[in-house]
Each structure stands twice: as structure tokens, then as C-alpha cells.
Amino acid sequence: MISQDLTIQRPEASATRKHAPVFVLGCVRSGTTLLYHMLLSAGGVAVYRAESNAINLLEPRFGDLSVRRNKEKLMEAWLNSKLFRVSGLHAESIRAKVIAECKNGGDFLRIVMGEVARSQNVGRWADCTPEHLLYLPRIKETIPNALIVHIIRDGRDVALSTAKLGYVQRKWWDRAPTTMVSALYWDWMVRKGRADGAKLGDDYIEVRFEELVTDPQNTLAKVSSFIDHDLDYDRILKVGIGSVSEPNTSFKSGPGDNFNPVGRWKDGYTPEHLAMLEALVGDTLTELGYSLGTTDCALLNRPHLNWMRALYQMYFDSKLWLKAETPLGKLFVTRSLSWL
């Protein structure tokens, strides 16, 4: 089970910030992949083209990783998945190292990614599993020198994208458009990430997706200073790994269309649906500095929507607690890793 103690253990003096692992996290469809690929394109960071899912999926699924049998089951599944295939590691050597040294999900991630970095002769590694944002206490407990970059995107744009992909499912009693539960999930995840991140002091930073897209040089300079790593934009464009060259979007543009992922919500909702969404998550949007499109206060203050928001927040909280804090966690994750 995951400890809720947020007391941060300071890394040893030799583990400098320049070599500390970087976690690029955020609600799904918020730009985590883009920023992660920018880090990889900058050089000096292990190139690993997958989301590790170490803390949010592998640890709950395989249980106490100080138990040898659990580690053996983990490695059997992991070595037969894409997560291993993209690592470039030797199966038997990484299996032996994990079996000998791993005690928890953070250890597993550190061991695997440390070996990937060594095999590529680079000084650090990074992770971009979006749901790891919900596990900041566990990450800092098991990887004390981790640096957290929380990328935040306008929840109205996120909801359009996640609803299109079917990422968040409505409950049986909910007849509202799927964009509403998608927006509520964004709201819950961003709020939790910010609350936990605020306890991490200088090891946590927030970046806006919109600023990364419209002003990449200055935004990358902010991240560069935070992680103590050169993020030269010209080099990033030249290397162009993944989303840097080919945007990861759920909205396909036609030939000759200009790609613009910012402000899609302005054309993506009917006035009625926009008012409903802003009634549900408008407080968070406003807190983050996003202007609302709905000006009628009566539409933004509807009691039945307050109940809907409260029910979903309770559901999300309960599901995370069961998954992260109880043996029932394995029921909330798949046995097979073939889908990763």
C-alpha cells in the first residue's frame, strides 16, 4: 500500500539536479507526450518511446515487489510487452538486476530507466506516464530526487480530445454528453496534482500547454532552468523525435490545414454544452487563468450540476484509494500488458 507521508528524503550529494530523473506529467491529452519528446530531442536524456506505467499500473497489479515471486511475475509480463521491446535492453541481464534489487515500483522504474540511460551513454532519464500525476507522494517516496513537471492544458480542449477517444466513461445514471465527465476527470486530476505538487517545494513546476505551443523558446527556458538541462529549441526541431515532428492529435487536419491545438473549444461545443461544462469546472478554469465563454451567472450556478460534480469527484477519489491503498488495486488494472 502507498504511504501518504510526503516528507521528502533529500538525495545524496552526488545525485545532482543535472542528473535527476524528470517526470513530465499531466492529465491525458494535455501535452505530456509533446514536452517529453522535446526533452528527448534536446539530447542527454534516455530515449524511451513509451509510458512506463510503473507506479499506476505495474505496482498495483503485481503487489509487494520486495517479494521475489511478485517480481518474477512482473518480469514475465514486462519482458513480453512493448515496454521491454522499446528499451533496447538484454532480457536476462535486466531480469536479474530487477530480481536482485527491486523493492517497489519506484525501484523498478529507476533500475530499468537507469539501465536504458547507461546503454545510451546519457546522464539522465525521464518518464511521461500521465496518470503518475496521481501518485506524486509515491514517486517522491521511492525516487526522492525526482523532478516533477506538471503540464496543464485548458480543460475544455482536453475534454473534447478525451471524449473523442472514449478515455473516460460515464456512469450509468449520467445522461450528459461524454465531454462533461471528461472535463470533470480533468478537473479532479489537475486539482490533485497541484495539491500534491505544492508540497514538493522546488522539485515541482507547472507549465501551460498553450504557452509551450505558442511560445516554445521561453517555455522551454523555464523548464531548462528547473531541470538544469540545456533545451535548445533549434536542436529540438532539428532532431524532431515523435510529436515534435508529427503532432499527436485526435483531430485529423486536411491537406494544407494549419495545425492549431489551442482554443478548439470555441468551435467544439454548442452554447448549451459549453455552459454546462463551465458550470461543472469553471472554478478551476478561472483559477488557472482561463477566461470563460459563458457570462450568464444563472447558467454557471445550477445545483444539480454541483451534485453531479460531487458524485464524480467522490467516485474518482474512491477508485484511486482502492487502487493505490488496498489489495483490491489489482482488480482495477489489467493482467496483460499487451495493450501498452
Amino acid at 302: R
Q: Which strand ranges, in their side-by-side order, compose the sheet holding 147-152?
A: 126-127, 22-25, 147-152, 204-208
Taking alpha carbons only, the member of 127, 97, 132 closest to residue 115 is 97
Write out the chain's pLDDT in tens, 340 residues.
Answer: 444 444 444 444 335 899 999 999 999 999 999 999 999 999 999 999 999 999 999 999 999 999 999 999 999 999 999 999 999 999 999 999 999 999 999 999 999 999 999 999 999 999 999 999 999 999 999 999 999 999 999 999 999 999 989 888 888 888 889 999 999 999 999 999 999 999 999 999 999 999 999 999 999 999 999 999 999 999 999 999 999 988 765 444 444 455 678 889 999 999 999 999 999 999 999 999 999 999 888 788 888 899 999 999 999 999 999 988 888 777 776 656 765 5
- Helix (H) / strand (E) element for 135: namely none
Q: Parse the chain into domains and list their residue ranges.
A: 48-116
Apex 301 CA angle, 296 and 304, nearest 5: 135
CA 46 → CA 129, 136, 219, 337, distances in Å? 15, 22, 21, 22
Rounded alpha-carbon distances, angstroms, from residue 58 to 21, 61, 231: 19, 5, 31
Nine-digit cell string for 178: 461524454
Read off the pTM: 0.90
Task: Name the nearest CA neighbour of 36 among 164, 144, 132.
Answer: 132
Under DSSP, the state recorded for 203 is G
d(Cα 127, Cα 132) in Å, to the nearest integer?
A: 9
Please, which residues bridge with residue 208 across strands?
Answer: 152
- What number of CA atoms fall less than 13 Å from residue 44's CA on the CB side? 17
